[in-house]
Structure 1
Amino acid sequence: MQTVQHILEQNQISAPLTETINTVLTASKDIALLLQKGAMGDILGCAGQENVQGETQKKLDVISNDMLKDALKACSHVAGIASEEEDLPVAANADGQFLVIYDPLDGSSNIDINVTVGTIFSILPSNGGDTAQEATYLQKGRNQLAAGYVLYGPSTLLVMTTGQGVDIFTLDPDTKEFVLTEAQSQITPTTKEFAINMSNQRFWAKPIQTYVADMLQGEEGPLGKRYNMRWVAAMVAEVHRIINRGGIFMYPWDNREPNKPGKLRLMYEGNPMSMLVEQAGGLASNGEIAILDIEPELIHQRVPVILGSKEEVNTALSYNK
């Protein structure tokens, strides 16, 4: 039985990075237990406050954020922390080597209806910077040392990369260990599935409107095949489906708030998910360049996202030409 620890040792991941990853996973196991309790754990409903993006926080948004933050601050290798739920980065240990950036509960609007949610994480080198300052965290996605997500569904899964491919682990409820269940997962290059929030169609730029309209024409259209649409409203669920059976996920720019280039956050969602997708043989773009090549300007910066099966993403991007 190969656990996360075995795989990290096999891949010769340093002890400090391994301990940092394990700290994230330990907190995630506790979050999974809380989710299993549901209404019995008094975790459902709103917390009565908004996060830095102006979104209403769910109780478990706040709880899971605090659980991860407290665990990571206690890990001596963590120099600083940035969370989607925090206004500013949080300095941790002066001698730490790593920055941990996370979305504690992606898809939290699904909590109250018992639909898939997840924790997304990204680990960067601290480079000796001032971890109380936002600038230290503003590194390109290519700098990530590790990225992954823990998906809380019928089973709790870990999907992770340390730059040596993508492995999928399942949490064994008996041993409380993440056990390898699929090594070196690869995204199929072609697909007939797409995921997009169709309610925003009228706000998209013309190229995306045309591309989606052509998909909807099926075999009779210019793309020559029948597509199925999927939408879970949680990025972890959309990306997990793509890693397992291919597809394309899009949250493109729209004109409702032109100063916000997308809904998703570059540092907390775009970069870690793009690293996973690229490591699994797919593509991830903001419509112009690879997401991992974007130079971040703000810790809560937003980004348009087009990611998934390589050939389909290239088809989508061709509509911009």
Structure 2
Amino acid sequence: MTRLNSQLQQDDVPLELVLLIQSLMVGCKEISFRVGQGALTGVLGSTSSENVQGETQKKLDVISNQILKDVLIESGHVKSISSEEEDDVVACNPEGKYLVSFDPLDGSSNTEINSLIGTIFSITHGTDGIQADDPSGFLQPGTQIAAAGYVLYGPSTMLVMSTGNGTHVYTLDKTQGDFLLTESNIQIPADTAEFSINMSNQRHWEPNIQAYVADLLVGKEGPRGKNFNMRWVAAMVGDVHRVLSRGGIFLYPFDNRDPSKPGKLRLLYEASPMAFLVEQAGGMASTGETRILDVMPTDIHQRVPTVLGSKNEVEACLAYTK
């Protein structure tokens, strides 16, 4: 099987970016080990602190964030870091070429039930003339992403990543410590009969999304003329991995509980990297109004509504919003 480094070389990825991805994967393998140890090492449960998002931090959130910070700073190729768990950007090497944004442990509440969790990341080029501690360097649309992906910590540890040459799937061979290519250039089926959304928020959605989901729920007797299944992991990495694996549509739409937060998912750490992967796999990703990768960030912790997955189904959903 092809090793990760060999595939990156085949895709003509610059050497410094290859070395950066290598460093990032060292951190993710360490997180995979810590997650796998679970209660044996006392890493489960919550801390007494909140992150900048106002969310109570899990112990593994803090541990994973520190692991990734350490390996990325040590790599020497990173100018600065932006993390969901950090209030501000973290300056690394002023001479580094790349900026890295990440959610160190997406779905961390699932650790308490031993369910799917993962690390989401995106890498962009640093901007000349902007200091390493200046967050404005990260205010780039997703079209500028050089590499994005996630590492899924499940029954096997999997890396799903794109450097702009298709979306590839790698599986961690724990006997050798290498990520090996197990699927190349995956493609999301254009049509689907599966949707993923947190139905407990239904009463807070805007009428157009309520109408769309209602039509899915009535199945073949309704205007869509077919039955749909609903699946929900409660971790974006798990739900998007299913979409990439067999098709589907994933939604985290705007709801009216807090108008100051136009969505739950963070643009830099979740929506944009996942949109990059989905588009590279032939799917579609939108805020409900515009292509996610075209959104110009205004803040490193900006949130956006998210609709992504099978192209024809995303278009069907968007027809309700027009």
Which TM-score band (shorter chain)? over 0.9
Q: Could you say which residue in structure 2 is the equivalent of 1:151?
A: 152
> Do residues 142 (structure 1) and 143 (structure 2) align?
yes
Q: Distance in 2 between matches of 1:213 and 1:131?
A: 47
Q: Could you say which residue in structure 2 is the equivalent of 1:272?
A: 273
Give runs of aligned pairs for residues 162-311 of structure 1, distance below 5 A.
Answer: 162-311=163-312
CA shift, 1:173, in A, is 1.2
Q: Could you say which residue in structure 2 is the equivalent of 1:107?
A: 107
> Do residues 63 (structure 1) and 66 (structure 2) align?
no
Q: Distance in 2 between matches of 1:230 and 1:121?
A: 24
Give runs of aligned pairs for residues 54-133 of structure 1, distance below 5 A.
Answer: 54-128=54-128, 129-133=130-134
Q: Could you say which residue in structure 1 is the equivalent of 2:17?
A: 17
Q: Distance in 2 between matches of 1:152 and 1:26?
A: 14
CA shift, 1:76, in A, is 1.1
CA shift, 1:112, in A, is 1.1
> Do residues 30 (structure 1) and 53 (structure 2) align?
no
Deviation string 1:236-290 (CA, Å, 9 cap, x unpaired) is 0001000000000000000000110000000000110000000000000000000
- SS of the residue corresponding to residue 102 of structure 2 reads strand
Output the amino acid matched with 1:39. A
Q: Could you say which residue in structure 1 is the equivalent of 2:51?
A: 51
Output the amino acid matched with 2:174. P
- SS of the residue corresponding to residue 319 of structure 1 reads helix
CA shift, 1:320, in A, is 1.2
CA shift, 1:47, in A, is 1.4
CA shift, 1:194, in A, is 0.3
- RMSD between aligned residues: 0.5
CA shift, 1:149, in A, is 0.2
Unmatched tracts of structure 2, length 5 or more: none
Unmatched tracts of structure 1, length 5 or more: none
- SS of the residue corresponding to residue 49 of structure 2 reads strand
Q: Could you say which residue in structure 2 is the equivalent of 1:42?
A: 42
Q: Distance in 1 between matches of 2:229 and 2:37?
A: 34
CA contact (8 A) 1:79 1:92 kept: yes
How high is the TM-score relative to the length of structure 2?
0.99
CA contact (8 A) 1:79 1:93 kept: yes
Output the amino acid matched with 2:222. G
Deviation string 1:116-158 (CA, Å, 9 cap, x unpaired) is 0000000000022212011111100000000000000000000
- SS of the residue corresponding to residue 260 of structure 2 reads coil
Runs of 4+ in 1 over 4 A off after TM superposition: none
Q: Distance in 2 between matches of 1:38 and 1:91?
A: 31
Q: Distance in 1 between matches of 2:212 and 2:132?
A: 42
Deviation string 1:52-98 (CA, Å, 9 cap, x unpaired) is 01000000000000000011011111100000000000110011000
- SS of the residue corresponding to residue 30 of structure 1 reads helix
Output the amino acid matched with 1:267. L
Q: Distance in 2 between matches of 1:170 and 1:179?
A: 5
CA contact (8 A) 1:116 1:151 kept: yes
Q: Distance in 1 between matches of 2:80 and 2:206?
A: 37
CA contact (8 A) 1:161 1:276 kept: yes
CA contact (8 A) 1:131 1:137 kept: no
CA contact (8 A) 1:134 1:299 kept: yes
CA shift, 1:5, in A, is 0.3
- SS of the residue corresponding to residue 256 of structure 2 reads coil
Output the amino acid matched with 1:204. W
Moved more, 244-253 or 127-136: 127-136
Q: Distance in 2 between matches of 1:130 and 1:137?
A: 11
How high is the TM-score relative to the length of structure 1?
0.99
Aligned residues: 321
CA contact (8 A) 1:282 1:308 kept: yes
- SS of the residue corresponding to residue 243 of structure 1 reads helix
Q: Could you say which residue in structure 2 is the equivalent of 1:8?
A: 8
Q: Distance in 1 between matches of 2:164 and 2:306?
A: 21
Output the amino acid matched with 1:247. G
Q: Distance in 1 between matches of 2:197 and 2:321?
A: 18
Identity over aligned residues, as a percent? 55
